[in-house]
Amino acid sequence: MAPPVPADQYAARLRSEELRSELNYHNRQYYVLDSPVVSDADYDDLLNELRAIERQYPELITPDSPTQRVGAAPLATFEVVEHRLPLLSLGNCFSPEDLESWFRRARERAGKDDLMLVSEPKVDGLAMALVYEDGKFVQGATRGDGLRGENVTPNLATIASIPSLLRGKFPSRFEVRGEVYMTRSGFERMNEAIGEQNIAREQEGRKPLTLYANPRNAAAGSVRQKDPSITAGRPLAMFVYQLGWIEGGIRPPSHHETLQWLGEMGLPVNPDTHVHTSVEDALERIRWWGERRERLDYDIDGAVLKLDAVDLWDQLGVAGREPRWATAYKFPPQQRTTRLRKIEVNVGRTGVLTPFAVLEPVFVGGATVGLATLHNEGDIRRKDIREGDTVIVQRAGEVIPQVVAPVISLRTGSEVEFAMPAACPVCGTAVRQDPDEAATYCPNADCPAQVIRLIEHFGGRASMDIEGLGERTAIALYGAGLVRNVADIYELDAERLSRLDDFLVKAGGLSKTAENLLTGIEKSKTRPLANLLFALGIRHVGYETARLLAAQFGSLERLLAATEEEMQAIDGVGPVVAGSISEWIARPGNRAVVSRLIASGVDPRQEVTATRPGLLAGMTIVVTGTLETLSREAAEERIRDLGGKAGSSVSKRTTAVAAGTSPGSKLAKAQQLGIPVLDESTFLRLLEEGPSALPEPAMPKDDNA
């Protein structure tokens, strides 16, 4: 009888079997079917868990373990290419300490202290091996399982950055490896087009086309098309990062010289490649990429570090499927898969209902995310997102987390399609449909959600700019019954606030927030008229319309007395805006609010927001997408007012790009050129403060590689 297996080893064996089968399933979904059902980060977690078990119990390693292989065997549709040298994967580092210990081990094995490192961005695409014969591109293959890939030559031949003919001096036959990727701007355009097609398909009762979750999946799907003319229409590109086998030529002794040589042949080498003499130096570059990653027009999920001396590559060799002479430094993942528990609805300041996702909390983009935006009902329909779905969640940079797409293949049938509620979820009033904006809204102006949002909006920067009057304060003041409309704000005083039982009061008196609030309220009384008009939250009256109205009527009283015709006489004010203003004036209570504001000492300055001519002198700002507080024309006018130039296209001479929602290709261009991109609040700050509001300049590129 065999000796009994210790319980913990037995558990480890069961778990490793489970992990192997799960990982093999994901490998097939990812590499063969281009349809991953988990994010890369979730996959890495599983792989790391298996690695840890195998490290502790090496006897559990099987030859088919995903830790020993790369990817999955090719699909039958493409001809199989046997790679002469296996295409390897890379080990991962997640912290400076990880990188330091990798480098220490490399130095020990090399028996040398002064090793040079080369850093390259880790482009998130798919690995390819290209073969050139006498300078002609003759074969291109996917990585497959690392030993056998798929012949996708005709498809790769359609990619503009892959030269069909080399120039300069090249080996008679050789293989070069690199990453095929899709640009982010191209990906956005492509997915938008698919979304549009899906609306049409839905109407025709046809199955929707799958939206790609990210540029990498889109690139994989595009490269593995059976019809190369489809690939040709996809925005693909390539960077080469390694010389494979070579005949009729001499391999340069260092990696940076190899890259330089490949570049001289006309092959696309990433220009952002650097040589370092220390890990600290490499880490500085990695941090720089980490900060700049949002501005590139391609996804990077980290950086790759390689020893520069190529003779050490053979000496150090490979462990499992990972070379010891190279490693990947991974950035925090920006996409994760999780379950969408529920779709709930938020009621905005003007009553518009916006759906959002309640998620099983997930760590993504450096933060735990439990809520994510779903934009609007149309977007939910286009993406076919249902309650109960497993979904891909994305959080990149400062952008609000969003639900990218459902993982359709994981549906169980119990998922529930979303429908807008018939009654306001906050006050229960029957909702209405706004035919112009295709929005659903709650018509009850006293709806607590609307009032709280309005109080918050009233204190906002472009409104009365009241310090301390944020969401939390608005909720507290409304909840305590102290503020039920914006005029009540000016009746707040220390005595009233001190009666509260929350964060505004601390032992022995008012909290700092409450004190700031009272000072802020006092200071707000003399804000410009345009700010006050905007602050009132009249539907369709954005900041710029408020400016036009202020300039025309000069006082609140005169605006209240104006007819719709008089309003429409202003260039930029149409019937919708005029109608909305007179409806607001006619609504009971609003006139009283205005009288009370004036009685409390609110005395708006007539001049338009402090325009300081010359503040933006010498700057060219391009505005793109939809801004919330002002129209594009208005934004451009403000730029010109301040002595700046409002550019219509992005070039190297552009100082910054102000991007609202749905920005489009100008944003991509700015990212490509490394031009600062400002979100709306930073842009508004730029208009107030001038150049000091701009982000720090990017670190200059060095030319040592």
Note the residues at the interface with ligand IVH (CB under 6 A): 88-90, 120, 122-123, 127, 179, 241-242, 304, 323, 326, 328
Q: Are 131 and 172 in contact (CB under 8 A)?
A: no
Question: Strands, DSSP E only, in 290-366?
Answer: 300-307, 318-319, 322-323, 326-330, 335-347, 353-364
Instruction: Copy the structure tokens of residue 215.
Output: 């540029």
Nearest approach in angstroms of CB 61 to ligand IVH is 20
Q: Which residue is nearest to ligand IVH (CB)?
A: 127
CA dihedral 571, 572, 575, 580 (to 10 degrees): -130
| Cα 263 from Cα 117, distance rounded (Å) | 19
Nearest approach in angstroms of CB 162 to ligand IVH is 16
Nearest approach in angstroms of CB 313 to ligand IVH is 9
Nearer to ligand IVH, 90 or 152 (CB): 90
Give every CB contact of residue 618 below 8 A, 6+ residues apart in sequence: 644
Nearer to ligand IVH, 37 or 220 (CB): 220
Nearer to ligand IVH, 44 or 637 (CB): 44
| Cα 190 from Cα 209, distance rounded (Å) | 12
| Cα 271 from Cα 253, distance rounded (Å) | 20
The 10 Å CB-count burial string (b at 16+, else e) for 519-528 is: ebbeebeebb
The 10 Å CB-count burial string (b at 16+, else e) for 174-211 is: bbbbbbbbbbbbbbbebbeebbeebeeeeeeeeebebb
Nearest approach in angstroms of CB 615 to ligand IVH is 43
Nearer to ligand IVH, 328 or 455 (CB): 328
Reduced to 3 states, what is the DSSP secondary structure of residue 158? Answer: coil
Instruction: Copy the structure tokens of residue 504.
Output: 């505004």
Nearest approach in angstroms of CB 385 to ligand IVH is 30
The 10 Å CB-count burial string (b at 16+, else e) for 31-52 is: bbebbbbbbbbbbbebbeebbe
Q: Are 659 and 667 in contact (CB under 8 A)?
A: yes
Nearer to ligand IVH, 241 or 441 (CB): 241
Nearer to ligand IVH, 326 or 426 (CB): 326
CA-wise closest residue to 543 among 572, 517, 511, 515? 572
Nearest approach in angstroms of CB 179 to ligand IVH is 4
Give every CB contact of residue 353 below 8 A, 6+ residues apart in sequence: 345, 346, 347, 420, 421, 424, 425, 431, 439, 440, 441, 442
Residues forming the active site: 122
| Cα–chain center distance at 227 | 31
Nearest approach in angstroms of CB 75 to ligand IVH is 18
- Number of Cβ within a 10 Å radius of residue 107: 14
| Cα 531 from Cα 687, distance rounded (Å) | 14
Nearer to ligand IVH, 84 or 169 (CB): 84
Nearest approach in angstroms of CB 274 to ligand IVH is 12
Question: Residue 534: which region, alpha, beta or left (left: phi > 0; alpha: psi -120 to 50)?
Answer: alpha
- Which residue's structure tokens are 């996809």? 234
Nearest approach in angstroms of CB 285 to ligand IVH is 13
Nearer to ligand IVH, 144 or 468 (CB): 144
Nearer to ligand IVH, 259 or 476 (CB): 259
- Cα distances (angstroms) measured from residue 694 to each of 572, 620, 690: 30, 13, 8
Adjacent-strand bridge partners of 626: 661
Q: Are 343 and 374 in contact (CB under 8 A)?
A: yes
